[in-house]
């Protein structure tokens, strides 16, 4: 709880300080893992080396200034354990810390917030409360899958879908909260689709699709919120690969490209 209160206090300072948040950066920086041109989707920025200036293209449809990264599980909630013998909570934390670092480099003017930075328990309601308090532009909950079927493989993503409507009935007369949920829903689905698209470009495994999920971090969200399932820890090959830093590099690339697609592609 002390960790949550510290994060909430930081969030309140951010919200109440009256300091205007900076607009997202207009230049896609160069990665060690890939060039900015490679990661930038159609409609973003490109760099023509024959020119002496950057070619700036249209402004984003959905600017991202605040991103909340939620490494799933933690503490007594260990999550899945796979063929490598490593609990999911450790993999999500490692991936989350590295993703946050990469996002801060890619979006230096954005605010990147982690729900946890250490191995401790944090309730689902507390996790999404942080994103709601900060009015985040994206809430990304990081997970790895597991199944009793040893052949289960691939990645998938979740958004609230119709389950958000069921949660909305509990809001009573809070029309503002209902409106926020309604506005966030199509953006959440959009982000989930962008994630699957970016992952499919890097991993030659089954794209299990974008699904609706009755998860607290989704149904109680008043911001665009998605659950990202990167791989099956229970699969003999994929489960081992999911523990490798080189694979995490690709996952981080995929999330960053997905955020770029989210910003620069209009809703369907």
Distance CA 91, CA 85 (A): 11
Q: Which long-range contacts (CB under 8 A, 24 or more apart) does 206-210 make?
A: 206/153, 206/154, 206/155, 207/154, 207/155, 207/156, 208/154, 208/155, 208/156, 209/156, 210/156, 210/157, 210/158, 210/159
What is the token pair recorded at 54? 């950057």
The SS3 assignment for 207 reads strand
Distance CA 225, CA 165 (A): 14
Examine the pLDDT at 42 and tell me if it is beyond 60: no
The SS3 assignment for 84 reads coil
User: Are the beta carbons of 123 and 77 closer than 8 angstroms?
Assistant: no
Q: For the chain, what is the radius of gyration of the CA atoms? A: 18
Task: Please tell me the total number of residues recorded for the chain in this structure.
Answer: 268
Strand partners, 163: none
Which residue would you say has higher pLDDT here, 153 or 166? 153
Percent pLDDT > 90 in the chain is 72
Average pLDDT score over residue span 116-138: 98
Distance CA 74, CA 246 (A): 23
* Confidence bin at 161 (pLDDT 50/70/90): very high
In the chain, DSSP finds a helix count (H) and a strand count (E) of: 9, 6
Between the alpha carbon of residue 111 and those of residues 37, 103, 131, 135, the distances in Å are 23, 9, 12, 11
Average pLDDT score over residue span 23-52: 37
Q: What is the DSSP letter of 95?
A: H
Distance CA 118, CA 204 (A): 32
Determine the pLDDT at residue 37: 30
Determine the pLDDT at residue 58: 80
* Confidence bin at 191 (pLDDT 50/70/90): very high
Neighbours of 183 (CB within 10 A): 12
Determine the pLDDT at residue 1: 53
Least confident of 6-15, 197-206, 236-245: 6-15
First to last CA, the chain: 40
What is the token pair recorded at 117? 């930075």
Domains, the chain, ordered by start? 2-6+66-264 (3.40.630.40)
User: Are the beta carbons of 187 and 174 closer than 8 angstroms?
Assistant: no
User: Are the beta carbons of 71 and 255 closer than 8 angstroms?
Assistant: no
Please name the helix (run of DSSP H) or strand (run of DSSP E) that holds residue 8, with its range, or none: helix 2-16
* Confidence bin at 178 (pLDDT 50/70/90): confident
Which residue would you say has higher pLDDT here, 4 or 18? 4
* Confidence bin at 266 (pLDDT 50/70/90): very high
Nearest alpha-carbon partner for 65 in 97, 10, 104, 99: 104
Average pLDDT score over residue span 195-223: 97
């Amino acid at each position: 709880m002390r960790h949550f209160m510290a994060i909430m206090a930081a969030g309140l300072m951010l919200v109440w300080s009256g300091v205007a948040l900076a607009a997202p950066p207009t230049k896609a920086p160069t990665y060690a893992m890939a060039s900015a041109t490679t990661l930038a989707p159609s409609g973003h920025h490109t760099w023509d080396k024959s020119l002496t200036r950057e070619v700036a293209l249209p402004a984003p449809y959905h600017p991202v200034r605040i991103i909340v990264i939620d490494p799933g599980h933690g503490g007594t909630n260990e999550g899945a354990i796979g063929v490598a013998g490593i609990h999911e909570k450790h993999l999500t934390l490692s991936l989350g810390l590295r993703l946050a670092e990469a996002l801060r480099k890619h979006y230096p003017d954005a605010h990147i917030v982690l729900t946890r930075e250490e191995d401790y328990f944090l309730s689902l309601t507390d996790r999404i409360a942080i994103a709601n308090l900060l009015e985040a532009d994206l809430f990304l909950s990081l997970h790895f899958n597991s199944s009793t079927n040893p052949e289960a493989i691939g990645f998938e993503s979740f958004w609230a879908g119709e389950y958000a409507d069921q949660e909305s009935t509990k809001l009573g007369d809070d029309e503002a909260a209902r409106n926020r949920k309604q506005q966030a829903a199509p953006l959440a689905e959009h982000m989930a689709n962008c994630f699957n698209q970016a992952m499919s470009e890097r991993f030659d495994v089954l794209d299990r699709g974008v699904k609706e999920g009755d998860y607290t971090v989704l149904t109680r969200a008043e911001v665009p919120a998605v659950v990202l399932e990167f791989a099956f820890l229970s699969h003999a090959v994929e489960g081992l690969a999911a523990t490798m830093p080189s694979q995490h590099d690709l996952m981080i690339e995929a999330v960053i490209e997905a955020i770029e697609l989210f910003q620069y592609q209009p809703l369907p």
